[in-house]
Amino acid sequence: MSKLSLNQSNMTGGGSILSMFALILYIIIKYPVKYVILFKLLMFMIFLMKKVYEFSCKAIEKFISFFQTILDPGTLNLIILKVPNIFAIFMAFIDLFIGMIYAFVAMIFFILLGLVSLPFNLIFSI
């Protein structure tokens, strides 16, 4: 019986001053560091969202320009006959190519945004 009473008396005792100080120090240090890291990740995510929006808008503008030029290329007025403007059609395909590059860059930024959101969610749950 004496061993049981010894173990119970050790468990019911309060924490020392040092453990209480360590707990307070842990709380004071952990949460500001955690929320500063979360804030920085949030700012980086907002930056990536702005870049996704910027490059997506540029891609859509180029695609619209491509379709407008393909649907109405204009005519090249040669003295004898009028032919569709081949140079405008060529420029339309260049616009399509540039639009695809913008869309690819927007997709890369979107994937990066997804990758950055994973540590954000992990840190937020801690």
pTM of structure: 0.71
CA pair distance 2, 45, nearest whole angstrom: 61
Give the residue carrying structure tokens 């707990």. 23
How far does Cα 125 stand from its chain's mean position?
Answer: 19
CA pair distance 102, 52, nearest whole angstrom: 10
pLDDT tens digit sequence for 21-47 = 888 888 888 888 888 888 998 999 999
Residue 26 phi, psi dihedral angles, 5° rounding: -60, -45
Query: pLDDT class for 2, splitting at 50, 70, 90?
Result: low
